[in-house]
Amino acid sequence: MESTRIYRILSKQSRTNLNRFIKFIKSPYHNVNEKIEQLAVFLVDSIKNQTEIGSKSEIWKQIHGDSEYKDLKFRKLCNDLLERFEKFLILENLESNKILKSNLLLESIKSNELDELAEKHVSKSSRDIGRQLEQSSEFYLQKYFYEKNIQNLKSNYEIKLDLKKGLKRSYNELSESLDAFYAIEKLRLATDLQTWKKMYKSDEVVELGVPLKIIKKYKFDNYPSVEIYRLMYKLYVEESGNNTYENLKEKAFNNIHLFPAQEQKEIFDVLVSYCIKIVNQGNIEFLSETLTLYDWGIENEIILNKGKLSPTTFRNYVVAGLRVNEFERVENFIKEKAELLDDSQKENALNFNLGRLSFYKTEFENAIQYLNKVNYDDVWYGLNSRSLLLATYYELEEFNALEYQLDSFSAYLRREKSIGEAKRKSFALTVNYIKSLLKHYNNKAKIRTLKEKITADKIVNSKKWLLEKIEERL
């Protein structure tokens, strides 16, 4: 039963969603099949209580009693329940979109000729639009439909009167909303294409229809979301875009609340991508700018998933800060933001990153204490903690302990089957180069040869640190 689609989907839902779905399935308006309700209740209770689900035939018995199990009939029951859940998702999504609900209601008022409701709901819809925080493309599309519905509800005489009086709520505003929707979606598409072309190193030209330069001719001074997407696209295609970056950053910081969560993340990613581009061009100090973006992203929950920070983002912040010696900023981040990590990941992330910070501050004894607390069940931590321990023992010139760690790490690389071949080779090379460095510690000729090998090596882990240690021996 656990392999069925309906069970897999329900098991991913929050308790709140499961409770709402049971209310939905028990409503006679949405479901009149008692067997579907019984199956839903049984599955949801099992998921919430984390009890054994049992086989299909056992569940059949719970629903149908002692009647003979029929696989085809049971599969249809599961499929019917899945269809009810899909309808539930539609209604839940509709419930969260007030403007769409208002538009559908206005359309129904028009089609059913319910003039008595028109005035009340036109006023209510207007208030909903005025209170809407998110104002990206979907907002302007729904605003267009709203204005269109208003026009449709009017008589020909009222429309003519509006045009004569030059009232704003006329075809003028209808057109502006549609233009804003089109401009944002066109610019989003163009930006997405630039992202994919860069990712896959493609020079393919994709026809976007109406040229983007036409969008520049339209005045969108009161539409910050249009300007933000225009700047995002401009940042991709410009060779030198510092001014564009600053403009985009300022507008994003002031207007990020206008965008839904997914688009907020798109804007954040474009800003960070530009920072990384500048860093890769040699301006390492721009990493401090990256930290500012991460701070903003966390504060506004742009890069949080259900209120949680991913260990990868946590590590990226630390690495960026350490590379520009922002030690105090990094330490504050580690200690203050660790609470945003999932409980199962918190301790490892805290110890590893405090160990890495201690290493950069040359507090090597502290680094060892933190790194020895790291649990190696997670392969990433197993590899990177061991690698950092090698460097730490080398810096302390505790070569006996280092040799033990080298042998232990080599055994781990051979034994741990979940390590990908590329990573295994990268870390194995690090181990071998450190062994060679120890072996020829006072032999400059051998050290020069080793330097040439490491310099030419494109896959070795900790390459920068290895070359620094080589230079110290020359």
Q: What pLDDT, in 10s, does the model give residues 291-348?
A: 999 999 999 999 999 899 999 999 999 999 999 999 999 999 999 999 999 988 899 9
Query: Looking at residue 171, what is its pLDDT?
Result: 67
Domain boundary among 95, 121, 154: 95
Q: Are residues 27 and 106 in the same domain?
A: no
The count of structural domains within the chain is: 3
Domain with 397, as residue range(s), is: 376-474
> How large is the angle between the packed helices 261-280 and 287-299, nearest 10 degrees?
170
The reply to whether 28 and 81 lie within a common domain is: yes
Position 55 in a domain = yes
Shared domain for 86 and 111, answered yes or no, is no
Q: Does one domain contain both 69 and 109?
A: no
Residue 242's pLDDT is 83
Q: Which pLDDT does position 222 carry in this prediction?
A: 76
241 occurs within a structural domain = no
User: Looking at the domain assignment, is residue 61 inside a domain?
Assistant: yes
Place of tokens 């559908």: 104
pTM here? Answer: 0.75
Q: State the pLDDT at residue 104.
A: 81
The predicted pLDDT at position 155 comes to 56
Is residue 238 domain-resident? no
Asked which of 181, 203, 234 is the last residue of a domain, the reply is 181
For residue 227, is it within any domain? Answer: no
Question: Is residue 358 included in any domain, yes or no?
Answer: no
Q: Which of 39, 68, 95 is the last residue of a domain?
A: 95
Is 453 part of a structural domain of the chain? yes
The low-confidence residues of the chain, meaning pLDDT below 50, are 156-157, 159-161, 163-166
Given this model, what pLDDT does residue 377 score? 85
pLDDT value of position 170: 58
pLDDT attached to residue 384? 93
Q: Is 222 part of any domain?
A: no
